[in-house]
Amino acid sequence: MSILEIDDLKKMARRRVPKMFFDYADSGAWTEGTYRANEEDLRKIKLRQRVLVDMSDRSLESTMIGEKVAMPVALAPTGMTGMQHPDGEILAAQAAEAFGVPFTLSTMSICSIEDVAENTTKPFWFQLYVLKDRSFVYNLIDRAKAAKCSALVLTLDLQILGQRHKDLRNGLSAPPKFTPKHVWQVATRPRWAFGMLGTQRRTFRNIVGHAKGVGDLASLSSWTTEQFDTKLSWKDVEWIKERWGGKLILKGINDVEDAEMAARTGADAIVVSNHGGRQLDGAPSSISMVEPIVDAVGDRIEVHMDGGIRSGQDVLKALCLGAKGTYIGRPFLYGLGAMGKDGVTKALEIIRKEMDTTLALCGKRLITQASRDMLHR
C-alpha cells in the first residue's frame, strides 16, 4: 500500500492496533463536534495561488520558544502513546529527534521521563498535569529537570475529564473492564501483542512506583480518577513556573480572556488548543481562535496552535494566521500505530513535503514569511 497522506497511516493503524487503543486516539468528547470542527475549519481556509515569483532555495526552518526546529511542528503530548505501539514514546521521541522537531512527553505516558531520556540524546519537552498530590507533582517537575527537559508544557484544560463515548463503550474506563472482547481485539493483532510481550514498559511509568499507594493497574486507575484538580487556578501557575525555572508553555487556551491571563504569567508561549476536541465538545475549533488570540496577545507571548492538523497545508494556514508553531497529536499516533518509529518519521515527512510544495505554490521561499496576505479572505 502506498502511503501518501496522513489518512493512509490512519487506515493502516486501524488494522494494526487493538480497537480499544485505536479508538482511544481517534475519539473526541460527546458528539465529537469540536473534534470534527478542528479539521473542517482548517480545510475551509483557502490559500492564494501565486505565479512567476522566485520559489527557489526554500526553507522550512524556524524556531519555537527560541529552539531551532527543522519545521515548526512539534509532537504533542499524548497519553498512553506506548499502547499504540510497544515503547511508543521512546520511538516517537527518537523519530522527532532525528527529524529535528520537538517531542513532548505526557505525564500520562507509558514510558517514563527517564526511559525517554536514556534512549535519546537531545532534550525533549515534558507535559505536566497538576494533580492533587502536590508532592508527586513537585517530584515530577524535579525529574523533568534532572532529565534536562528543555521546556515544561503545562496543560490547563483538563481539570475534569471530558467524556469520550468510544472509550466507555470499549471499557477503557477507570478501572478498566477487561472482557473476552478485549482478548479478541488483542489476539487479532498479533504483531502488536508480541511486541507488548517483549517490552517491560506496559504501565504508566511516570506514576507507578512514584505516587504514594500506586503499585499496580487497579490502584493506578482509582488514584488517577480522583487526582484531577478542579480547584486549580492562575495562582498555581506561579509556583509551577518558579519551581520549574525554565521555559514554560501553557497549553489549552481557547479564549481571548484566558490568553490575556496567560500572557500576564510571563510564560514563554501558549498553545491555542481544545485538547484535540477531547474536552469541551461545543468549543470553537482551535484554528478559528488563532487570529483573535494572536491579535490580543501575540506581541507579548509566542502563540502556538494544535488541533486538526492533518497536512503541511494545515500547518501553513495556522502560521499564516499568526501562530509561531504547531503540534500534531493523532497524525503521529497513526504513524506510530501503523509502522512504529518509521511511521512517525513518515508522518513528519508527509507534512514536510506538503508544506514545502504549498509554500512554493503560494510564491514564498521561507516558512518564516508566512503571513495573512497568503490567504484568500
Binding site for ligand FNR (CB under 6 A): 24-25, 38, 76-79, 106, 108, 127, 155, 251, 273, 275-276, 278, 306-309, 328-330
Q: Is 275 among the catalytic positions? A: yes
Amino acid identity, position 22: F
Closest contact distance (angstroms) between CB of 202 and ligand FNR is 17
Report how far residue 73's alpha carbon sits from residue 226's, in angstroms, rounded to the nearest whole number: 33
Report how far residue 118's alpha carbon sits from residue 332's, in angstroms, rounded to the nearest whole number: 21
Q: Which residues pair with 153 in a beta bridge?
A: 127, 249
For 72, other C-beta atoms within 10 Å of its C-beta total 26
The total number of residues shown for the chain amounts to 377
Strands (E), 298-347: 302-306, 325-328
Closer to ligand FNR by Cβ: residue 323 or 364: 323
Contact 167, 27 (CB under 8 A): yes
Closer to ligand FNR by Cβ: residue 307 or 325: 307
- Residue closest to ligand FNR, measured at CB: 329
Closer to ligand FNR by Cβ: residue 60 or 305: 305
Closest contact distance (angstroms) between CB of 38 and ligand FNR is 6
Closest contact distance (angstroms) between CB of 241 and ligand FNR is 17
Closer to ligand FNR by Cβ: residue 106 or 313: 106
Among candidate residues 85, 182, 210, 275, the one labeled active-site is 275
Closest contact distance (angstroms) between CB of 313 and ligand FNR is 14
- Of residues 374, 348, 311, the one with CA closest to residue 98: 348
- Of residues 356, 281, 260, the one with CA closest to residue 316: 356
For 263, other C-beta atoms within 10 Å of its C-beta total 20
Closer to ligand FNR by Cβ: residue 307 or 340: 307
Report how far residue 273's alpha carbon sits from residue 290's, in angstroms, rounded to the nearest whole number: 9
Closest contact distance (angstroms) between CB of 242 and ligand FNR is 21
Query: Which residues are tagged catalytic?
Result: 275
